[in-house]
Amino acid sequence: MRRTMVAGNWKMHGTRASVAELINGLRHLALPSGVDVAVFPPCLHINQVVDGLKGKSIQVGAQNSAVEPMQGALTGEISPSQLVDAGCSYVLVGHSERRQMMGERDGTLNRKFAAAQACGLIPVLCIGETLEQRESGKTLEVVSRQLGSIIEELGVGAFAKAVIAYEPVWAIGTGLTATPQQAQDVHAAIRAQLAAENSEVAQGVRLLYGGSVKAANAVELFGMPDIDGGLIGGASLNADEFGAICRAAGN
């Protein structure tokens, strides 16, 4: 049985003061015991969040990490080993905003994924199609290629200690959500692709849905058989809303 997971990606939001407020809100949440909860603050605020959430069952992750596992001459980057040292458990790999705006390609993402795992971080691989790709019937082809890149490079076993987030780009921050059935169809295809290589890995890996998830649509989405929780953007910046989404995952 897979444990559900709700992850809050704060993206490039927050000041020390607003983060302190959000931490305070999170500390007061009653969280369901069967759900793994994690937040992904900007790197600048990771120490503050790790300290502020001590004793609370919320893990902390980073939104990005370097292609090299250990420290070195890589100006401006933060290594997975530094993130572990700071108290992180997870790292996002290949969020569509980084694929699109930073030009991150599969080869780079394979290295980031491997480097994260080498340090004991759990990578959350983000995959998903653009509106144009969906409208031209290429959704499954695109998602399969993004997933296949890691399988080819690192082997399907790499997903024994990883999470996958399916995020249709057209649903991110737009208020448009994939219908539960649209999301389920893609999640089922992802699991089938993994199962073709290794059914145990396929059954064990958690597949999160991301894209305009709110408390109001979470129950229906998380009720689908291959949706094991969510990667939440905007709604994770409000502790009460985030708490309600976590409770929806616990139903």
| 204 annotated ligand binder | no
- Nearer to ligand G3H by Cβ, of 39 and 172: the residue is 172
Q: List the catalytic residue out of 97, 104, 129, 167.
A: 167
Residue 61, marked binder: no
Cα 167 to Cα 71, 124, 157: the distances in Å are: 31, 12, 22
The binder of ligand G3H chosen from 4, 5, 6, 9 (CB under 6 A): 9
Candidates 21-29, 74-82, 167-175, 197-205; binding stretch for ligand G3H (CB under 6 A): 167-175
Residue with smaller CB distance to ligand G3H, 178 or 202: 178
Residue with tokens 């992750």: 61
- Which residue's CB is nearer to ligand G3H, number 66 or number 232? 232
Catalytic residue among 95, 97, 104, 129: 95
Helix (H, G, I), strand (E, B) or coil at 104: coil
Question: Among 39, 116, 172, 249, which residue sits at the site for ligand G3H (rule: CB under 6 A)?
Answer: 172
Least separation in angstroms between CB 232 and ligand G3H: 5
173 binds ligand G3H (CB under 6 A): yes
Active site residue 187: no
Residue number closest to ligand G3H, CB atom:
233
205-234 binders of ligand G3H (CB under 6 A): 210-213, 231-234
Containing H/E element for 4? strand 4-9
Q: Do 79 and 49 meet the contact criterion of CB atoms below 8 Å apart? A: no
Output 202 or 231, the one with its CB closest to ligand G3H: 231
**Least spacing, CB of residue 101 vs ligand G3H, in Å:** 12
Q: Which of residues 86-125 bind ligand G3H (CB under 6 A)?
A: 95
The answer to whether residue 167 forms part of the interface with ligand G3H (CB under 6 A) is yes
Residue 95 annotated as catalytic: yes
Q: Which parts of this chain interact with ligand G3H (CB under 6 A)?
A: 9, 95, 167, 172-173, 210-213, 231-235
Catalytic residue ranges: 95, 167
Where is the binding site for substrate, in residues? 9-11, 173, 212, 233-234
